[in-house]
Every structure is written in C-alpha cells, then in structure tokens.
Amino acid sequence: MKIFADSGSDLPKEFFEQHNVEIFPLRVDLNNSVYLDTVEIDPKKVYDAMRQGVVPKTSQASPELFLQHFEELAKSKEEGLYIAFSSNLSGTYNTAVMIASQVREQYPDLKLKIIDSKCASLGCGLLVKEAVRLRDEGVPYLEVFEKVDYLAQHMTHLFTVENLDYLAAGGRVSKSSAFIGGLLSIKPILHVEDGKLIPLEKVRGRKKAINRIIEIMHERGGDFSNKVVGISHGDDLEFANEVKSLIQEKLQPKSFEMTMVGAVIGAHAGPGTIAIFFTDKDY
C-alpha cells in the first residue's frame, strides 16, 4: 500500500524517506525565490526571515506532481491512500481529487482513497504516522482508510501565537486587533473547526494561554493515559519542552510527538507559535 501526504503535515524530510511515504511539497516564496516545503527549505530559514520583517508567500503543491504519482500508482496496480491537508486551508485536496478523476479516465481501476483530513500541521502528521503504523502491521487497505478517516474527524487542534501580526497579514484577525493585542500582550487561543482556524478565547500572557489550553485539553480529551499528544512549535524548542512538561505533569499522556511547524504553515503563524494535537475519541 502506498501512502501519500503533503508537507502541511509538518513531518521531517527523514520521516518520508525512512517510512516509504511520498511527499507532495507545498511551496514557499521567500525573497523572490520559490522553495519546495520540507524538501528544499528548512523552516528555520523562514522564521529568521520573518523576524527580519520579510513576509513569505505560500502556494499549493504542483498539479503535475499529483499527475505523475497517481499515474505511477495506477500502472503499479497498488492501493494508495493520500492524507491531505485541510481543504479549508489549502487547495491541494481539491487539486488531488481533480487529478485523480482525470487519471481514472485512462486507468479506471486506479485504487486511490483521498482523505480531506480537515487537519493541519502535526494534527495531519499524527494521521500519517498512524497510517504508516497500520500499514506496516499488515492491516487491510480499507480498514486503514476507515481508521485514519475516523481519527481525522476527531483530531483536536489547540494553539496560540506569539505575534498576532502574522495572523493579521493572512486575514485571520483584524489589524486593529493585532495592534491592541500586541500592546496588551493578548494571546489568542485558536482551534480548528471543520478544517478552518477559529478563535476560541483571548488570554493575557503566554504562560496563561498555555495553562488555559491544558484546561481545555482536559475538558475535551478526558483521560489521556492512552492518548498521543502532538506538539509543534514555531522555532522555540525550549518553550515547547516547557509545555510538554506541564502537559505531562497534569495529564500524563501515553506519549508525545514533537516537531517544528514547517515553512508553509509557519509563514502564516509566525515564530513562537505553539500548537497541541490529540484525538478527542479513541477507536
């Protein structure tokens, strides 16, 4: 079984290489040069540029790449599963569906399932990791699809950003809110609802925002003893480790996965972002 994922899953390049997962890289335009996310650019380069006032732009994965991989899959007669970044945050999912439909005109037996994960960053990455685990354990194709699809519907995202200006630049909050928020050290707590970023609460100060996020985790997730918690950070590993220690102390999850927020998502969220991911239901 072939597994596909895009770089919006924020898994490191080595993961794709080591676990036989094909990557569809989104693209980052930085200082008039275009890079393939994960493949050609380290997210730290994007964060350093943003700290200097550069505003990166992003675009979806290449349609030609979908065509190439889906035709190869059809010719191989293998089964394929593509776990796509939320369709409400990127056009990549819709492009993949369109290309798969074209390929089926020539290869009607194409065995490909495409999941609109409605997830972002490591929320999507945890789904990819679970798909790899199930595949490697020999779980049948349709069962892998059903389990990953179920988890996608129950993946909770909670995050806060260090600087509201980056979200304002992307239209996620108003510029006046960002200005006032900056003066008052207001930190928004956001979550993802039906694949869209939705502001949840506003809290004064970063530490208070994290403590409130952990309270919400407990409210939504209940018992964490059998849950994996994902943490992704915008180039602030030290603070991410502090957050991990707080979650460990208060919720004692089964395990943690940690990664840096990749170049594409980081271009919108900015340095200092902290995001938490977990499923609100087990299966």
For the stretch 54-77, pLDDT in tens is 989 999 999 999 999 999 999 999
Length of the chain: 283
> Between residues 177 and 244, which one has the greater pLDDT?
244
What letter represents residue 245's amino acid?
A: S
pLDDT for the residue 176: 42
Quick check: 144 and 1 in contact, CB under 8 A?
Answer: yes
3-state secondary structure of 190: strand
**pLDDT score, position 170:** 53
Predicted local distance difference test score (pLDDT) of residue 204: 84
Average pLDDT over residues 11-29: 96
Q: What is the pLDDT of residue 130?
A: 96
Q: Is the pLDDT reported for residue 171 higher than 90? A: no
Other residues' Cβ atoms within 10 Å of the Cβ of residue 132: 20
* Mean pLDDT in residue range 129-154: 97
What CATH number matches the domain at 155-279, 3.10.20.30, 3.30.1180.10, 3.90.245.10, 3.40.50.1980? 3.30.1180.10
Mean pLDDT score, 155-177? 68
- Chain region(s) in the chain for CATH 3.40.50.10440: 2-26+61-153
| DSSP codes of every residue in 130-170 | HHHHHHHTT--HHHHHHHHHHHHHTEEEEEE-S-HHHHHHT
Residues 6+ apart with CB under 8 A from 165: 178, 182, 270
Which positions ≥6 away from 76 have C-beta within 8 Å? 2
Residue type, 203: V
Mean pLDDT across the stretch 7-27? 96
Residue closest to 134 by CA, chosen among 65, 79, 94, 92: 79
* pLDDT classification of 185: cutoffs 50, 70, 90: low
pLDDT of the residue at 90: 87
Residues 6+ apart with CB under 8 A from 80: 1, 2, 3, 4, 70, 73, 111, 112, 113
Residue 273 predicted with pLDDT over 90: yes
By percentage, how much of the chain surpasses pLDDT 70?
Answer: 92
Residue-wise pLDDT for 218-268, tens only, equals: 999 989 999 999 999 999 999 999 999 999 999 999 999 999 999 999 998
Whether the predicted pLDDT of 177 surpasses 50: no
The segment(s) of the chain belonging to CATH 3.30.1180.10 are 155-279
Of 279, 209, 210, the closest CA to residue 249 belongs to: 210
Name the CATH superfamily for 2-26+61-153: Dihydroxyacetone kinase; domain 1 (3.40.50.10440)
**What is the per-residue pLDDT for 68?**
97
Res. 178 pLDDT band, cuts 50 70 90 = very low
Helix (H, G, I), strand (E, B), or coil: what is residue 89?
Answer: coil
3-state secondary structure of 174: coil
pLDDT tens by residue, 92-130? 999 999 999 999 999 999 999 999 999 999 999 999 999
Instruction: Write the single-letter amino acid at 221.
Output: G
The CA-CA-CA angle for residues 173, 199, 267, to 5°, reads 55
Cβ-proximal residues to 74 (8 Å cutoff; 6+ apart), any chain: 103, 106, 107, 109, 110
Average pLDDT value for the chain: 91
Distances (CA, A) of 166 to 157, 176, 196, 269: 19, 13, 17, 6
pLDDT, position 13: 94
Q: What is the pLDDT of residue 179?
A: 41
Q: For residue 84, what are the contacts with CB-CB under 8 A and spacing of at least 6? A: 5, 6, 92, 93, 96, 114, 115, 116, 117
